[in-house]
Chains A and B, each alone.
Chain A
Amino acid sequence: MKPLVRNERFMRLAMPMAIGIVALVLWQAAVTAFNVPKYIVPAPSLVLQTLLADRALLFHSLFVTLEITFAAFVCALVVGTLLAFFFVQSRLIEISLFPYAVLLQVTPIVAIAPLIIIWVKQPMAGLVICATLVALFPIIANTTLGLRSVNPGLANLFRMNKATRLQTLLRLRIPSALPYFFGGARISSGLALIGAVVAEFVAGSGGMGSGLAYQILQAGYQLNIPRLFAALVLITVTGVLLFSLMVLLSKLALGNWHESELGAE
């Protein structure tokens, strides 16, 4: 058997975990050694304790944030893909509208979130709209690029075989666009979570008042720093899990053929 150090898959998991453990141990040691008060930096052990003690509260909040995130992500996927299909219908449509997609991307959500939350009466809908706006651009940009990135030889082949528009779309354009689409979705999944948290932050008590960002705000006001950290840990872990889920989906969809998902052979 190969020694584990030479096993790429083992090392891929083991090395980041080892670094994480070392960092946690150093953190714990530093807090103990310098006697850092828990309202400045809590020790990892205390964060874990708080996470367990406040689990009912925190996991309820996590569920709320997840709800916003998933709703926003799905909206971004649907709206982004539809817009991309619309954009590639004609060059004129794309050059007329694409700058506005960019405008959407560069407008800081923190600045417009209060407006959206005022305009939209239903608080949940307001939050989802904010998070969707954050997550939308990578889907539009990548899917548009993907739908345009058709191998010219294959396009010729379809034309010479008198393929209909629908056949070309289903059998050529969509498969060609998939790798780009998944690249966009991967970025977008993380952005949906960030968008959800930012929107909750901005909405504060004016929003739903129960997501993870709300818990962070409240914990901050009450100087309950361990709970703030515990909520932060939950957000981070959720982000990583979301990203991994997208990686997995992309592997399932493209694993057989696309370079990005093929191991070194």
Chain B
Amino acid sequence: MLNPLPRLAHETPVVEVLSAEKTYPDGTRALDPVNLTVRDGDFITLLGPSGCGKSTLLKMIAGLMEPSDGRLRWWRQGAQALGTQGRKLVFVFQDPTLMPWARVRANVRLPLELQKTAKQEAERRVDEALALVGLESFDRHYPRQLSGGMQMRASIARALVTEPNLLLMDEPFGALDEITRNKLDADLIDLWWKRGLTVIFVTHSIYEAVFLSTRVAVMAPRPGSIREVIEIEEPHPRTEAFRVTQRFAAYCKELTELLRQ
């Protein structure tokens, strides 16, 4: 299979962040003016220590927060066009945020029910999403009966069920142990590749950033800003084997040095 990136160069950018900055009402400067263009099929990671504004930037991209100055465009449109056909974005939180009173299936179906999708169509898409994250035999379980990793899978299935064009993830595997995290990373990259998704992913793990991304935006704190955007030129599909290569180590070294500056 070929790397999907070249075919994308001519298409409409998914997100354009144009000198967007953020100062909170209490005067805290969260983000200096930032520029970033996300193309269709990108897997971009925002990498940095806490306080570097990566969550703030992600929330602005999600349309959950307005920039104090500058602007954002989605598919060359304003925020009001979000959610229409072909312009769907979905947010995966740091916690699984599942409804404890509902079974996995009902949790995954929730966005479709809120959008009043026809029942048959909804069930089909739920089955598909559960299969994508490998939870098809756990659909009758309650969230508390699942491990942390499986709860996160259910949360991702709930995001995918809406068939989004853009997936935003805010340190989704931050609370998991490293072994589980590596496994989920590998499954996520597989999913991204097979489904042709566009992903913006926040993390403070260098290894995770190198393993997953097509590009890494290295951010600096106080006030938050993007220091540099590094291209990870490892072809896809990537497997766990990439983690133990020289190239992987070299990228980790480069990012570590950038973060230390």
Q: A158-166, A205-213, A221-229: which one contacts chain B? A: A158-166
Tell me the B71-91 residues at the A interface (CB within 8 Å). 83, 90-91
* Inter-chain contacts of B113 with A (CB < 8 A): 171
A90 at the binding interface (Cβ < 8 Å): no
* Residues A258 and B101 in contact in the complex (CB < 8 Å), given A153-B93, A160-B62: yes
Min C-beta distance of A226 to chain B, whole Å: 50
Let me know if B91 and A160 touch, CB within 8 A: yes
B179 at the binding interface (Cβ < 8 Å): no
CB < 8 Å neighbour of B64 from A151, A153, A154, A160 = A160
* Residues A171 and B110 in contact in the complex (CB < 8 Å), given A256-B101, A257-B142: yes
Q: Residue-by-residue, is A234-265 near B (CB-CB < 8 Å gives 1, otherwise 0)? A: 00000000000000000000101110001000
Q: Which bracket fits the contact residues of A? A: 20 to 34
B97 at the binding interface (Cβ < 8 Å): yes
CB < 8 Å neighbour of B93 from A156, A175, A258 = A156
A32 at the binding interface (Cβ < 8 Å): no
* Residues A158 and B101 in contact in the complex (CB < 8 Å), given A153-B93, A256-B142, A257-B142: no
Let me know if A157 and B97 touch, CB within 8 A: yes
A167 at the binding interface (Cβ < 8 Å): yes
B114 at the binding interface (Cβ < 8 Å): yes
* Inter-chain contacts of B91 with A (CB < 8 A): 156-157, 160
Q: Residue-by-residue, is A163-189 near B (CB-CB < 8 Å gives 1, otherwise 0)? A: 100010001100100100000000000
* Residues A162 and B99 in contact in the complex (CB < 8 Å), given A156-B64, A156-B93, A257-B142: no
CB-nearest residue of chain A to B89:
A160
Let me know if A162 and B114 touch, CB within 8 A: yes
Of B62, B99, B101, B142, the most chain A CB neighbours within 10 A belong to B101
- Taken together as a complex, chains A and B put the C-alpha atoms of A41 and B83 apart, in Å, by 77
- The A contact surface, by secondary structure, is helix
B6 at the binding interface (Cβ < 8 Å): no
Min C-beta distance of B151 to chain A, whole Å: 12
Min C-beta distance of A124 to chain B, whole Å: 39
- Taken together as a complex, chains A and B put the C-alpha atoms of A119 and B142 apart, in Å, by 52
* Inter-chain contacts of B115 with A (CB < 8 A): 161-162
* Inter-chain contacts of A167 with B (CB < 8 A): 114
B144 at the binding interface (Cβ < 8 Å): yes
B100 at the binding interface (Cβ < 8 Å): yes
CB < 8 Å neighbour of B100 from A153, A158, A258 = A258
- Taken together as a complex, chains A and B put the C-alpha atoms of A145 and B113 apart, in Å, by 27
Let me know if A175 and B114 touch, CB within 8 A: no
Min C-beta distance of A29 to chain B, whole Å: 50
* Inter-chain contacts of B171 with A (CB < 8 A): none
* Inter-chain contacts of A254 with B (CB < 8 A): 101
- Taken together as a complex, chains A and B put the C-alpha atoms of A98 and B134 apart, in Å, by 49
Let me know if B110 and A161 touch, CB within 8 A: yes
* Inter-chain contacts of A175 with B (CB < 8 A): 99, 101-102
- Taken together as a complex, chains A and B put the C-alpha atoms of A258 and B110 apart, in Å, by 20
Let me know if A153 and B97 touch, CB within 8 A: yes
* Inter-chain contacts of B90 with A (CB < 8 A): 160
- Taken together as a complex, chains A and B put the C-alpha atoms of A83 and B93 apart, in Å, by 34
Of A151, A161, A167, the most chain B CB neighbours within 10 A belong to A161
- Taken together as a complex, chains A and B put the C-alpha atoms of A151 and B107 apart, in Å, by 14
* Inter-chain contacts of A160 with B (CB < 8 A): 62, 64, 90-91
Q: Residue-by-residue, is B93-112 near A (CB-CB < 8 Å gives 1, otherwise 0)? A: 10101011110000000110
Let me know if B95 and A257 touch, CB within 8 A: no
Let me know if A162 and B64 touch, CB within 8 A: no
Let me know if B110 and A257 touch, CB within 8 A: no
- Taken together as a complex, chains A and B put the C-alpha atoms of A162 and B111 apart, in Å, by 9
Tell me the A125-173 residues at the B interface (CB within 8 Å). 151, 153-154, 156-158, 160-163, 167, 171-172
Let me know if B144 and A158 touch, CB within 8 A: no
* Inter-chain contacts of A151 with B (CB < 8 A): 97
* Inter-chain contacts of B95 with A (CB < 8 A): 153
- Can you list 26 pairs linking A and B with CB atoms under 8 Å apart? A151-B97, A153-B93, A153-B95, A156-B64, A156-B91, A157-B93, A157-B97, A160-B62, A160-B64, A160-B90, A160-B91, A161-B110, A161-B111, A162-B114, A163-B114, A171-B99, A171-B110, A171-B113, A171-B114, A172-B99, A175-B101, A178-B101, A256-B142, A257-B142, A258-B100, A262-B144
Name the 6 nearest CB pairs between A and B, nearest first: A153-B97, A161-B114, A257-B101, A175-B101, A163-B114, A257-B100
Interface residues in chain B, defined as those with a beta carbon under 8 Å from any beta carbon in chain A: 62, 64, 83, 90-91, 93, 95, 97, 99-102, 110-111, 113-115, 142-144
